[in-house]
Amino acid sequence: MCKGSEVLMLLGADLGDPPNTFSRAEKALEEEIGRIRARSRDHWTHAEGFDSDLLFLNRALVLTTDLAPEEVLRRSLGIEIALGRVRVPDGPVGPRVIDLDILLIGELVVDRPGLRVPHPRMHQRAFALGPAADIVPGLRHPLRGRTVLELLRDLHAGEDAA
């Protein structure tokens, strides 16, 4: 990985006290991964992929790091565990105290077991694209060739047509 790579990360939570959890997560991310260069506004959204009466808080960050993608993932998972995340391997998606998703790492493309960058469903998720568009609207998806803002508009256009 190139020195000073930019990681676009999404924070999500619907259990506990998400704003406080995000503050703790950001502190840990800066200690473990790199400097936060940009932060989106908070987006409250409904759950996708499962039924829940709880709203999710989502926030995007851009971090600058010298770490390899696998190390960014390893440390992110460690931060999730430290903040109380319990993962059920191959289990159903459900409510969570914290979720740290790596959306993009510059123009890097990684397809390895356990790590896919760009995030494979990023372009289908308004809850990820909305916060990302707050801070990096012109950032281009390396596989789709579209900017974050264009992907968000494409997604909304598809919803309007449905």
Q: What is the pLDDT of residues 143-157, one digit of tens each?
A: 999 999 999 999 989
> Distance between CA 27 and CA 94 in Å, rounded?
25
Residue 85 annotated in active site = yes
Residue 116 annotated in active site = no
> Distance between CA 122 and CA 61 in Å, rounded?
14
Of the residues 24, 42, 74, 101, which is catalytic?
Answer: 101
Residue 101 annotated in active site = yes
For residue 83, being part of any structural domain is answered with yes
With 0-12 / 13-18 / 19 or more C-beta atoms within 10 angstroms meaning exposed / middle / buried, residue 159 is exposed
Residue 51 annotated in active site = no
For residue 154, being part of any structural domain is answered with no
Q: 112: domain range?
A: 5-119
CATH number of the domain bearing residue 68? 3.30.70.560
How many domains does the structure of the chain reveal?
Answer: 1
Of the residues 39, 74, 85, 153, which is catalytic?
Answer: 85
For residue 134, being part of any structural domain is answered with no
Of the residues 14, 59, 75, 99, which is catalytic?
Answer: 99
Sign of CA dihedral 50, 130, 81, 22: negative
β-partners of residue 116 are 111
Residues 6 or more apart whose CB falls under 8 angstroms from that of 28 comprise 79, 82, 83
Q: What is the pLDDT of residues 19-57, one digit of tens each?
A: 999 999 999 999 999 999 999 999 999 877 777 788 999
For residue 31, being part of any structural domain is answered with yes
For residue 127, being part of any structural domain is answered with no
Alpha helices (H) in 52-111, listed in sequence order = 69-82
Residues 6 or more apart whose CB falls under 8 angstroms from that of 140 comprise 107, 146, 147
Q: Which pTM does this prediction carry?
A: 0.92
For residue 109, being part of any structural domain is answered with yes
Of the residues 59, 75, 96, 125, which is catalytic?
Answer: 96
**Residue 17 in contact with residue 25, Cβ under 8 Å?**
no
Q: What is the pLDDT of residues 82-91, one digit of tens each?
A: 999 887 776 6
